[in-house]
Structure formats: structure tokens, C-alpha cells
């Protein structure tokens, strides 16, 4: 599981040192070669004729949301890459003159078209634009905040407190017992779809404790050993999925009907056939863009 998952693997150098220099940021904003990724209502711009992000030139800044400001995503071959928010525009494609060349995509849909590196860049852009749009005011004093450091954080204009983007850790685990694993489904999911159990890591709690608590709360199953496998950025709006496998100490279920519609134990072979797309498995599992898919594939292969 060493390969980057969807939404990871951005090739951009985030330029942590350079972005502290306001003059450097201003210079890069004006350079002809700098690139700008339009984001419209959290959708990213993708080329129609190629599986690539559609970048714009600096003139796009005239139409951007200045409260959010241009967000520096990083450098590649010394070229600065920014994201700009065009959400206030009713018809951004017409504004850009790109109706025939590009289209805005929801990030999940875009990830199915884009290569891994572009999906990682798009995830970074969406998460940062969303965070800035949500943090226009200081949670401490209520004062107005402004973007600084190329969009790396915001500062309150009244009390001068700095506010940085936060990532919410989510524990997600395949609980197994012998040749069976425990999966759950939420209301509103597609028919026959199940996935690994997941929940936010709470304050003053380890990852292992979070897995044991979530599984017990949602299904009544006690968990023993917990092993971390891999992580995945999940920018909806800004989570980090911490993928684990866990040992179930029993099989009796007491499903929390508020949290889950159902939970079941599934045989390894059935999960394997579902991952391969066999309809006779009568089971739908998360697609490859989700870490749950890879956790389940790892478990079926005995990894």
C-alpha cells in the first residue's frame, strides 16, 4: 500500500519558505508563466479533450473572490501554481471564454478523469479554497480575517491572532475475525453497498482507541489489536483517513440504528468477488478512489 491514493501525490513543492515573503508572492502573481486553477463553488476546471486540469493565466484574478484571495498551491520547475475562487460569478466558463475547452467538475467526478498528480493538486485547491471561504471571521473576537502567506493562513485584523487550516483525522478500519470481516452501511447509500467502519478521532484519543470506540458504538463488537496501514487525504471538506485493520474479539452485533442502517459479517471470498465486480456477490463496495476499497483488497489478499 505504498502507492499514493487518490487525492494524494501532488507534485508541487509547497514553497513554505518562499511564501513568507510578501514581495515574492506579488512577483509570482504578476509573472507571465504563473498558472491559476479556477475553482467554482468547490468544483475544479478540467479540460474537455484531455484528462488534465485546465489552468488559466493571471488575468483570471480580475474575477476572483478577493476575500479568499489567490492561494499558492506550490512550485513546479520554478513556476508558481495558484488556485482562485470564482464562486461569485454566475457563468464562469463564459467569463473565461472556455465554454468549448473546459468544464467544471465536482472533485469526486474529476478524480475519475484526472491522473494521480492532478487529482492531488485539485484536492489541495478545493480544501484550501473551502477553508478560506469558511474562515472570514475570527472565532476568538469576531473580527474580520485576511489571507496571508499566499493563502497559507489567515490573520485577524482586530486581535492579530493567526488561524491555520486544520485537518480532521478519521479512523477507518476493516474489522476481521478469521475469514470474515465486519462492514456497515449508512442510510441513503446505493442498494447493497457496504464499507469499512469509520469515525472521527476525538479529543485526547489515540487512533487505536478511536477504532475500538467507533466499532463498539456502531456495532457492539469489541476490538482487540489494531494495526495502521495507510492514510488518504479526503478533502470533503478537510479530513485525513487513517486506514487500519483490526481484530474482532466477538461476532455478536448490536447495531446503533442512528449511526448505521445495517452491519454484517462477510466471507473473504464474497468480498473478493465483489471487488472484482462479480454481480453474484450481491455486494457493492467503495470504488478505488476511496481508501476503504484498498483496505478491503489488502485484507482479501491476506496482507
Nearest to 65 by CA among 128, 139, 18: 128
Query: How many whole angstroms separate alpha carbon 8 and alpha carbon 290?
Result: 11
Determine the average pLDDT of the residues in 207-223: 98
φ/ψ of 297, rounded to 5, equals: -65, -40
Find out whether the peptide bond into 184 is cis, omega within 30 degrees of 0. Answer: no
Lowest mean pLDDT among 1-10, 177-186, 197-206, 219-228: 1-10
The 10s digit of each residue's pLDDT in 123-154 is 999 999 999 999 999 999 999 999 999 999 99
The 10s digit of each residue's pLDDT in 233-252 is 999 999 999 999 999 999 99
The 10s digit of each residue's pLDDT in 87-132 is 999 999 999 999 999 999 999 999 999 999 999 999 999 999 999 9
Q: How confident is the model at residue 303 (pLDDT cuts 50, 70, 90)?
A: low
Q: How confident is the model at residue 49 (pLDDT cuts 50, 70, 90)?
A: very high
Residue 2 has pLDDT above 60, yes or no: no
Residue 256 has pLDDT above 60, yes or no: yes
User: Do residues 127 and 235 make contact, with C-beta atoms less than 8 angstroms apart?
Assistant: yes
Level-2 CATH architecture, domain 168-300? Alpha-Beta Complex (3.90)
For the chain, give the percent of residues with pLDDT over 90. Answer: 97
For the chain, give the percent of residues with pLDDT over 70. Answer: 98
Q: pLDDT value at position 270?
A: 98
Query: How many whole angstroms separate alpha carbon 159 and alpha carbon 264?
Result: 52
Q: pLDDT value at position 3?
A: 63
For the chain, the domains span: 18-133, 168-300
Q: What is the mean pLDDT of the chain?
A: 96
Residue 1 has pLDDT above 90, yes or no: no
Q: pLDDT value at position 85?
A: 97
The 10s digit of each residue's pLDDT in 156-166 is 999 999 999 99
Q: pLDDT value at position 302?
A: 86
Nearest to 54 by CA among 27, 78, 29, 84: 84
CATH code for 18-133? 3.90.79
User: Do residues 246 and 294 make contact, with C-beta atoms less than 8 angstroms apart?
Assistant: no
Fold match, 18-133 / 168-300: yes
Residue 203 has pLDDT above 60, yes or no: yes
Report pTM: 0.94
The 10s digit of each residue's pLDDT in 216-226 is 999 999 999 99
Amino acid at each position: 500500500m505504498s502507492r499514493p491514493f487518490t487525492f494524494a501525490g501532488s507534485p508541487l513543492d509547497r514553497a513554505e519558505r518562499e511564501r513568507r515573503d510578501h514581495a515574492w508572492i506579488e512577483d509570482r502573481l504578476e509573472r507571465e508563466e504563473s498558472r491559476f486553477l479556477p475553482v467554482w463553488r468547490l468544483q475544479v476546471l478540467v479540460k474537455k479533450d484531455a484528462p488534465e486540469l485546465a489552468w488559466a493565466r493571471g488575468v483570471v484574478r480580475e474575477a476572483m473572490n478577493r476575500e479568499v484571495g489567490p492561494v499558492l498551491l506550490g512550485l513546479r520547475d520554478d513556476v508558481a501554481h495558484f488556485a482562485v475562487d470564482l464562486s461569485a460569478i454566475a457563468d464562469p466558463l463564459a467569463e473565461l471564454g472556455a465554454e468549448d475547452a473546459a468544464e467544471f467538475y465536482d472533485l469526486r467526478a474529476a478524480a475519475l478523469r484526472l491522473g494521480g498528480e492532478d487529482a492531488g493538486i485539485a484536492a489541495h485547491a478545493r480544501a484550501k479554497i473551502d477553508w478560506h471561504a469558511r474562515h472570514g471571521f475570527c472565532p476568538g473576537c469576531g473580527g474580520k480575517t485576511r489571507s496571508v502567506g499566499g493563502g497559507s493562513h489567515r490573520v485577524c485584523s482586530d486581535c492579530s491572532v493567526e488561524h491555520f487550516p486544520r485537518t480532521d483525522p478519521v479512523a477507518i478500519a476493516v474489522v476481521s475475525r478469521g475469514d470474515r470481516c465486519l462492514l456497515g452501511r449508512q442510510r441513503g447509500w446505493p442498494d447493497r453497498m457496504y464499507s469499512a467502519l469509520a469515525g472521527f478521532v476525538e479529543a485526547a484519543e489515540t487512533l487505536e482507541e478511536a477504532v475500538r470506540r467507533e466499532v463498539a458504538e456502531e456495532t457492539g463488537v469489541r476490538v482487540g489489536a489494531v494495526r495502521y496501514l495507510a492514510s488518504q487525504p479526503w478533502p470533503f471538506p478537510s479530513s485525513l483517513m487513517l486506514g487500519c485493520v483490526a481484530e474482532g474479539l466477538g461476532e455478536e452485533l448490536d447495531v446503533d440504528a442512528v449511526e448505521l442502517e445495517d452491519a454484517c459479517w462477510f466471507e473473504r471470498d464474497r468480498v473478493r468477488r465483489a471487488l472484482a465486480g462479480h454481480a453474484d456477490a450481491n455486494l457493492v463496495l467503495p470504488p478505488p478512489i476511496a481508501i476503504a476499497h484498498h483496505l478491503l483488497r489488502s485484507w482479501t489478499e491476506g496482507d
